[in-house]
Copies of this chain bind each other. A is one copy, B any other.
Amino acid sequence: MPDELPILQFVDRPGITDLGWGHPRPELLPVRQWHEATRAALDTYDWRAMTYGHSAGPGPLVEWLATRMGEVDGAPGDPAEFFVTAGASHALELIAKVLAEPGDVVLVDAPTYHFALQIFRDHGMELVSAPQDAIGIDVEALDELVRVLRGRGKRVAFLYLVPTFGNPTGQSLSASRRDGLTRFASIANVTVVEDDTYRELGYDGAPPQSLWTSAPGGPIVRVGSFSKTVAPGLRLGFVQAGPHVVAKLAGLGYVTSGGGLNHLVALTMAAFARSGAYQAHVERIRAAYRAQRDALVGALRAELPDFAVPAPPGGWFLWLRLPAGMTAKTLLAAAEPLGVSFAEGTDFHIDPNTGDDHIRLSYSLLPPAELADAAALLARAVRSLA
């Protein structure tokens, strides 16, 4: 029975245009270029690409990453700060492993990336939402919360957020809040885990400077990914952190045992990057995802003139506030029979009673015309509830 078992994570639901998945558009995956990069890597590194790799990741990729950070962020990196992982999710898994103990508190943005919440729960961590005001994390209230938690004998392992083109909002934290957060991190000595997965996917100019580069030497750990810029099937990401964190990661028994966590793919990425294919590819997909964002935003604004439809400046997601009296749950129940689906806002909060006034629409998977059709179906669902 060859090929009857699933190959993909995606589950097709015939008749449903599903804006719930944060998956790339298939046409934007660099299949041919990756084949060329594989040939180049095997030509260049030969058997070295196939044996046990250096624990922190192979030098050629680490050096390129350090340089690339200077192009897309405020400052180039120091190669000693990098640890290559098998994806950003894997980076979060490993960070939780080396920085947290079961029972520790992890403070999380609200809303935030839902599967990160599950990763932290798997480590037995206690999830606590960082206090919010209208524009993001309320740093003063956060500082007070940390005092209260510590006063109760709790250890706060770290704060997790996606401050740049975030999941699920597509928005970025303001410069003043970034300043406040990095000051808080240093003074309160709370590590900030900055999920920087979407940095390369800004559609309206340069991304904000990362927390990591804004606070040199501060207690920041940056997580990066090739899943959105190149391909999620590669399972390649990285951590950028202080040497004590890198040493903890590289010293794990399972890293010592198997060597670099995704060695051949990491060296292939080095070849992909050094050939110029990475830069060309990112420019291509940035233009394509910008067009997809514009199509979805334009169609939603045309179809739902009473909604305040934001134009997210980057990333893969649009976070849509529903009008008073309408919930994500009731809208989903109306939408799916009409042939469109999405993620409910509650998925992105710890408290299942929070977030039902928002939905997350992914515009990554579908071309502009299908996104416009989906917006029309969504508008029909909205009108059916009126």
Interface residues of A (CB under 8 A from B): 1-10, 23-24, 26-27, 29-32, 34-35, 38-39, 42, 45-55, 58-60, 62-63, 79, 86-90, 92-93, 97, 102, 115-122, 227, 231-235, 252-254, 256-265, 267
Contacts and interface: CB of A to CB of B under 8 A. Distances in A.
Contacts of A3: 59-60, 63
A115 B50 contact: no
Contacts of A50: 29-31, 34, 231-234
A9 B63 contact: no
Interface-central residue, A60, A121, A234, A264, by most chain B CB under 10 Å: A264
Interface-central residue, A42, A88, A257, by most chain B CB under 10 Å: A257
Given A2-B60, A3-B60, A5-B59, A257 B89 contact: yes
Contacts of A231: 50-51, 264
Report copies per complex: 2
Contacts of A24: 51
- If over half of A's interface residues share one DSSP class (helix, strand or loop), that class is named, otherwise mixed; here it is helix
A5 B54 contact: yes
Contacts of A27: 47
A259 B235 CA distance: 9
Given A233-B52, A254-B119, A259 B38 contact: no
Contacts of A253: 89, 93, 115-122
A340 B50 CA distance: 25
Given A50-B29, A122-B252, A45 B7 contact: yes
B49 A233 contact: yes
19 contacts: A5-B59, A7-B58, A9-B51, A9-B55, A26-B51, A30-B50, A31-B47, A31-B50, A50-B234, A51-B232, A86-B262, A97-B122, A115-B254, A115-B256, A117-B253, A119-B253, A232-B263, A233-B260, A233-B263
B34 A42 contact: yes
B258 A89 contact: yes
B265 A6 contact: no
A48 B258 contact: no
Nearest to A258: B89
A89 B51 CA distance: 15
